[in-house]
Amino acid sequence: MEIIPLPAFSDNYLWLIHDGRHAVVVDPGDDGPVARALAGHGLELTAILLTHHHADHTGGVAALARAGLPVYGPAAEHIAGVTHPLADGDRVAIDAPSLALQVIAVPGHTRGHIAYFGDGMLLCGDTLFNGGCGRLFEGTAAQMHASLGRLAALPGDTRVYCAHEYTLANLEFARAAEPHNPERDAYRERCRALRDAGRPTLPTDIATQRAVNPFLRCDSRSVRDTLALADAPDVQVFAGLRAWKDRF
């Protein structure tokens, strides 16, 4: 199994999962990069996975979804073309390429956002980013904090495939939010080297995010001291971080 990042727009990644013959695409906001990759690798598209309704994640569905092609997406959001609406705890089984995925409801960025977990990977759309998390367009801070907690509880070696290349900007904010984190600083330099070489900073993994991502570190004394919220509940710390990041 191979997973290829297909750059789209200014900073999106559309993830193409394939076995050399058959492919599944995640959040195809633009059909062009997908069609070119399928033709270039000689692949047949067998399914589409969607995490939420935003156009940069769904805009290519109509052009890619031939008759009979399964399109999986959140049941709690209206997305044209979805044939298999999914809710928390549902399972997705795809024969070719062979995929067995669990659906995790992760509201916050949007009300019905879902993620897919299985085969050692997490396809999380705009919920968890490398070094950050999604904006609260529709959900609440409490919802997003709970959603991130569910993802942070996954095995540490889970590979994280999110949908945007925001890493360096996120880690710059992380330095402000948690000034003393040597592991984060070393990781930031590795990510900078990847970008300087024209390579993605993704996938990351859950263990790394627990160590460097301030939104998963709301119990950190350093983060709490920065926000002057030493004794506040974790969700209040998260809300303070998210509001600060919005204007950072």
In terms of domains, do 87 and 197 share one?
no
Q: Pick the catalytic residue from 27, 30, 31, 56.
A: 56
Q: Pick the catalytic residue from 18, 27, 31, 54.
A: 54
In terms of domains, do 1 and 83 share one?
yes
180 included as an active-site residue: no
Judge whether residue 114 has pLDDT over 90. yes
Spatial distance between the Cα atoms of 73 and 150, rounded to a whole number of angstroms: 19
In terms of domains, do 118 and 19 share one?
yes
Kindly report whether the peptide bond that precedes residue 214 is cis, defined as omega within 30 degrees of 0: no
Q: What is the pLDDT of residue 67?
A: 83
164 included as an active-site residue: yes
> Per-residue pLDDT tens for 12-39?
999 999 999 999 999 999 999 999 999 9
> Per-residue pLDDT tens for 173-217?
999 999 999 999 999 999 999 999 999 999 999 999 999 999 999
Containing domain of residue 101, as a range? 1-126+134-164
Number of domains comprising the chain: 2
In terms of domains, do 29 and 142 share one?
yes
54 included as an active-site residue: yes
Q: What is the pLDDT of residue 121?
A: 98
Q: What is the pLDDT of residue 66?
A: 86
> Per-residue pLDDT tens for 219-231?
999 999 999 999 9
Judge whether residue 103 has pLDDT over 90. yes
Task: For CA atoms 68, 71, 72, 77, give the dihedral sign.
Answer: negative
Which is it for strands 121-125 and 159-162: parallel, antiparallel or unpaired? parallel
pLDDT band at 166 (very low <50, low <70, confident <90, very high): very high
52 included as an active-site residue: yes
In terms of domains, do 118 and 230 share one?
no
In terms of domains, do 75 and 87 share one?
yes
Judge whether residue 83 has pLDDT over 90. yes
Assign residue 33 the CATH number of its domain: 3.60.15.10
Averaged over 119-148, what is the pLDDT? 98
